[in-house]
């Protein structure tokens, strides 16, 4: 535009119009190319963000590999950190691209180019008006002087307007053409500078890791490959040992025959005692005067065939249809076993006879040398992980779990992405902390996935009643970050720090407030002297209840909206109310997974249990009282103080906390106790088990829960009654069917020797019971006949099992 003479602009010459068209075409082309740049830059940023998301997920997934690299965790950690840092740099580059290229070019198109186009419309309109004025002036008749004057005046005014607008339009175009180069070049220069910074950061990062990752670790990898090559050659030669194995066994047998007791382990066929008399192959071994067997796979703990070998005898079985059979005879049962060969047959008989004789001679001191080192017996053989339960309920929206106070972050390190939970502790965990919890053992922590596992309703109730906020008030009560020698775990802390913190918190329980200190710490400061009574409040969550705060002592007192009497306030302030500061029971349930805890008990409407003398304040009795109050936070507090889950109260029929949980009819309390190691077959003074009590009370849901956890149904009370006798006496058709179904399944297909999963019809019936037992209508103290229809359908399924 600089070469156009202004006189030509004012004259509106063809040369001016030609140049104008060229510039307009240039601007149109510029806009199209800039739009194309914007399109690809936007696509590049979007794909880059997708890449970052996938790369971040890739780096995160590498953390799960750590359990497979126990000796190389540091190497894997550094590789993951390197990838994550690169990802951060890439993200910064994309942000710069968005701030420079996308923002600046978009503004240039929308503001500068659009401004020129808008003024073009004005120029074209004025130009058309000027052309119209000229045409009109040329058509005026010379005999009409007045019209001539008017036409000339109109031409003069429109001409002036046209000339001004033409000059303005040329100015806009000129300025745009001059601005495009610095604007676009500066934008691209900023982006290239960001790219340069990105590559420099990556280069510096690689230099930081150069010594370890690209030199030391590379040398280690090469050494590992060399070791692998040597191992591969050795493994190829292992087939040569097959021929020599039998000779070694014979030599070993000869050596063992010189000793007092021959060690023995190996596979035998075992004939089941059910009606079908099937044979199953099991791995047998002896240890500590006991005979064990287990499946080849799918079974963590062995089964005790005989608990005391000195009471047994062994003899060959010559009248059997199979070869190499022998019989182990005990006072209660005979076991028929079969060896694979004649040699093994003789060896097993000799080994068992030697073991029995040695046990009798040494008064059961048949000890630790009779078992292979690969076999170990856990003292908690009756414990089962939640995931092994055969009754599976619907999946949950795991995000509802995070609505429970404190659950949005990991209970141990504060990570804001908890996808795991410890169901017996009632807390949510991140993936790193969940790995440490698994290493504690199931007697400390039972870990489940929030997103992958299926959750039973009673476990969900336990989780709802606890949560990270409550549990951390218990297990971190005395932790002082300044004074303590234990460093608190954080989201990005080292594995060793995380492990020490979790072990100190849950295994050593270093930060739990002792009961002796709770007598003063949990009381308002103005209560002097110390109270002589203590009690536990029922943990009722009611949306219609509110919390009143006393400003003098900071003690929370939960009252009904229509009943805020001074008498109740005085009772709460006059005794030590355990758990008052653990949970605000007036708040609504954090998530609507299940009903409130008012429906978790069939006991009376009183909110506070009877007071006890302060000299009875000990963890065992606190757990016992909290079980009656179905107050899980206080139960958790008592367990953290070392309470015995199987403590017997000599004053009340020698009952345990589990007995009392059944009596008050609380599913979640029973589940909490069982998950934390309570003996499900404990008996009181009358030899009543929890199963006896649940059936006597007509509580189908509790009976189902106990049977699901393998409660024994053949234990007799002092007066000789079995659980089924109570079910028949109370005319509870559901429980009668349930008990007979379990017994029938044990007899014909539900033994330890049955196929995995058991009888399919039995499993279908149990799923029906799972659905029915969790319906609150089944949890009533009086029978209204509502179970007859369900019982009939379930009984029909029992007939199917019998027919099979």
- 150 and 99 in one domain? yes
- 290 and 197 in one domain? no
- Asked if residue 745 is part of any domain, the answer here is no
Helix then strand then coil, in percent of the chain rounded to 5, is 55, 10, 35
Predicted confidence at residue 747, as pLDDT, reads 66
- 448 and 334 in one domain? no
- 29 and 162 in one domain? yes
CATH code for position 493: 1.10.220.150
Distance CA 577, CA 583 (A): 12
- 169 and 101 in one domain? yes
- Asked if residue 729 is part of any domain, the answer here is no
Predicted confidence at residue 292, as pLDDT, reads 93
Place of tokens 């009611």: 542
Place of tokens 């063992």: 256
pLDDT mean for each 10 residues of the chain (804 residues): 67 85 90 92 91 89 80 78 89 89 90 90 90 88 87 89 88 88 90 90 84 77 86 78 59 48 82 84 91 88 87 86 90 88 91 81 41 33 37 58 89 90 93 87 87 81 90 90 86 90 92 72 46 74 40 35 41 66 53 48 58 82 88 90 90 90 89 92 92 89 87 89 88 83 68 46 63 50 39 40 34
- Asked if residue 659 is part of any domain, the answer here is no
User: Domain ends where: 370, 405, 433?
Assistant: 370
Place of tokens 């009282």: 625
Q: Count other C-beta atoms under 10 Å from residue 471's C-beta.
A: 24
- Asked if residue 555 is part of any domain, the answer here is no
Contact predicate 109/34, CB 8 Å: yes
Strand duo 533-536 + 556-560: pairing: unpaired
Cis preceding-peptide flag for 529 (omega within 30 of 0): yes
- Tokens representing 564 are 């805020």
Predicted confidence at residue 557, as pLDDT, reads 31
- 175 and 30 in one domain? yes
Predicted confidence at residue 565, as pLDDT, reads 41
Strand duo 533-536 + 447-449: pairing: unpaired
- Asked if residue 566 is part of any domain, the answer here is no
- Asked if residue 312 is part of any domain, the answer here is yes
Q: Of the candidates 259, 270, 346, 353, which has an alpha carbon nearest to the alpha carbon of residue 310? A: 353
Distance CA 459, CA 461 (A): 5
Distance CA 781, CA 699 (A): 7
Distance CA 361, CA 356 (A): 9
Predicted confidence at residue 515, as pLDDT, reads 77
- Tokens representing 145 are 């002087």
Contacts of 630 (CB under 8 A, 6+ apart): 538, 539, 597, 600, 601, 661, 664, 666, 668, 669
CATH code for position 213: 1.20.1270.60
- 356 and 285 in one domain? yes
> For residues 512, 514, 519 and 523, what is the CA-based torsion angle, rounded to 10 degrees?
-10
Distance CA 803, CA 224 (A): 60
- 161 and 21 in one domain? yes
Q: Would you say how long the chain is, in residues?
A: 804
- 148 and 50 in one domain? yes
Give the residue numbers spanning the domain of 200. 6-224
Predicted confidence at residue 792, as pLDDT, reads 40
- 409 and 315 in one domain? no
Predicted confidence at residue 311, as pLDDT, reads 80
- Asked if residue 180 is part of any domain, the answer here is yes
Q: What is the 8-class DSSP label of residue 616?
A: G
The number of folded domains in the chain is 3
Q: What are phi and psi of 326, to 5 degrees?
A: -145, 170
Report field, pTM of the whole predicted structure over 0.85:
no
- 358 and 435 in one domain? no
Q: Where are the alpha helices (DSSP H) in 362-494?
A: 431-440, 457-465, 468-475
Distance CA 96, CA 94 (A): 5
- 353 and 409 in one domain? no
Strand duo 533-536 + 576-578: pairing: parallel
CATH code for position 308: 2.30.29.30
DSSP 161-192: HHHHHHHHHHHHHHHHHHHHHHHHHHHHHHHH
DSSP 3-state of 305: strand
Q: 328 forms bridges with which residues in the sheet?
A: 314, 335
Contact predicate 723/691, CB 8 Å: yes
Strands, sheet with 290-294, edge to edge from the N-terminal-most edge strand = 303-306, 290-294, 279-287, 265-271, 334-338, 325-329, 313-316
Q: Of the candidates 352, 84, 421, which has an alpha carbon nearest to the alpha carbon of residue 76? A: 84
- Asked if residue 333 is part of any domain, the answer here is yes
Q: What are phi and psi of 558, to 5 degrees?
A: -90, 125
């Amino acid at each position: 535009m600089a070469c156009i003479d202004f006189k030509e602009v004012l004259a509106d010459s063809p040369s001016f119009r030609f140049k104008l068209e060229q510039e307009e075409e240039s601007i149109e082309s510029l806009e199209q190319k800039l739009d194309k740049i914007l399109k690809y830059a936007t696509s590049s940023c979007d794909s880059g963000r997708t890449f970052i998301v996938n790369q971040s997920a890739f780096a995160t997934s590498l953390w799960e590999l750590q359990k497979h690299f126990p000796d190389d965790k540091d190497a894997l950690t550094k590789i993951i950190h390197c990838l994550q840092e690169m990802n951060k740099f890439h993200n910064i580059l994309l942000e710069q691209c968005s701030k420079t290229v996308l923002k600046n070019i978009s503004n240039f198109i929308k503001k500068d180019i659009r401004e020129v186009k808008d003024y073009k419309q004005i120029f074209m309109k004025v130009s058309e008006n000027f052309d119209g004025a000229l045409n009109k002036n040329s058509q005026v008749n010379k005999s009409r002087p007045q019209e001539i004057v008017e036409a000339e005046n109109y031409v003069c005014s429109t001409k002036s307007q046209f000339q001004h607008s033409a000059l303005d339009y040329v100015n806009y175009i000129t300025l745009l053409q001059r601005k495009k180069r610095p604007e676009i070049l500066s934008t691209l220069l900023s982006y290239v500078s960001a790219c340069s910074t990105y590559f420099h950061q990556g280069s510096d990062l690689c230099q930081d890791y150069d010594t370890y990752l690209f030199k030391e670790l590379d040398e280690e990898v090469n050494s590992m490959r060399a070791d692998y090559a040597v191992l591969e050659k050795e493994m190829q030669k292992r087939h040569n040992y097959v021929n020599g194995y039998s000779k070694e066994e014979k030599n070993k047998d000869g050596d063992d025959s010189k000793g007092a007791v021959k060690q023995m382990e190996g596979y035998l066929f075992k004939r089941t005692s059910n009606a079908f008399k099937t044979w199953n192959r099991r791995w047998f071994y002896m240890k500590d005067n006991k005979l064990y067997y287990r499946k080849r796979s799918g079974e963590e703990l062995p089964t005790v065939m005989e608990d005391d070998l000195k009471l047994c005898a062994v003899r060959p079985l010559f009248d059997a249809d199979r070869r190499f059979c022998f019989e182990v005879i005990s006072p209660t049962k005979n076991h028929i076993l079969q060896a694979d060969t004649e040699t093994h047959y003789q060896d097993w008989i000799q080994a068992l006879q030697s073991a029995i004789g040695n046990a009798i001679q040494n008064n059961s001191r048949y000890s630790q040398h009779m078992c292979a080192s690969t076999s170990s017996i856990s003292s908690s053989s009756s414990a089962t992980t939640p995931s092994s339960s055969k009754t599976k309920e619907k999946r949950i929206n795991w995000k509802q779990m995070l609505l429970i106070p404190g659950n949005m972050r990991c209970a141990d390190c504060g990570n804001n992405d908890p996808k795991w939970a410890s169901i017996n502790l009632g807390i949510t965990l991140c993936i790193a902390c969940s790995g440490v919890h698994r290493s504690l053992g199931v007697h400390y922590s039972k870990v489940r996935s929030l997103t992958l596992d299926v959750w039973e309703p009673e476990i969900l109730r336990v989780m709802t009643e606890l949560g990270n906020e409550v549990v951390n008030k218990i297990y971190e009560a005395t932790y002082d970050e300044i004074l303590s020698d234990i460093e608190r775990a954080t989201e990005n802390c080292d594995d060793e720090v995380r492990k020490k913190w979790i072990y100190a918190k849950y295994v050593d329980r270093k930060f739990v407030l002792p009961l002796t200190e709770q007598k003063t710490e949990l009381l308002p400061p103005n209560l002097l002297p110390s109270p002589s009574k203590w009690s536990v409040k029922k943990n009722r969550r009611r949306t219609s209840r509110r919390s009143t705060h006393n400003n003098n002592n900071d003690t929370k007192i939960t009252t009904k909206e229509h009943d805020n009497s001074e008498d109740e306030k005085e009772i709460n302030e006059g005794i030590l109310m355990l758990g008052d500061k653990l949970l605000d029971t007036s708040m609504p349930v954090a998530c609507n997974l299940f009903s409130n805890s008012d429906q978790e008990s069939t006991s009376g409407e009183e909110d506070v249990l009877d007071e006890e003398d302060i000299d009875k304040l000990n963890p065992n009795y606190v757990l016992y009282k909290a079980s009656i109050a179905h107050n899980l936070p206080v139960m958790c507090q008592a367990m953290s103080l070392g309470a015995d889950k199987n403590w017997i109260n000599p004053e009340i029929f020698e009952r345990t906390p589990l007995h009392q949980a059944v009596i008050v009819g609380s599913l979640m309390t029973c589940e909490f106790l069982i998950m934390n190691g309570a003996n499900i077959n404990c008996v009181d003074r009358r030899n009543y088990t929890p199963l006896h009590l649940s059936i006597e009370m007509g509580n189908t849901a509790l009976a189902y829960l106990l049977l699901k956890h393998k409660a024994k149904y053949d234990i007799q009370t002092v007066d000789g009654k079995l659980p089924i006798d109570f079910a028949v006496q109370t005319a509870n058709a559901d429980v009668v069917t349930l008990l007979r179904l379990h017994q029938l399944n044990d007899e014909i297909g539900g033994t330890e020797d049955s196929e995995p999963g058991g009888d399919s019809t039995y499993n279908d019936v149990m799923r029906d019971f799972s659905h029915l037992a969790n319906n609150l209508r089944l949890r009533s103290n009086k029978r209204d006949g509502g179970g007859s229809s369900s019982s009939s359908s379930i009984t029909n399924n029992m007939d199917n099992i019998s027919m099979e």
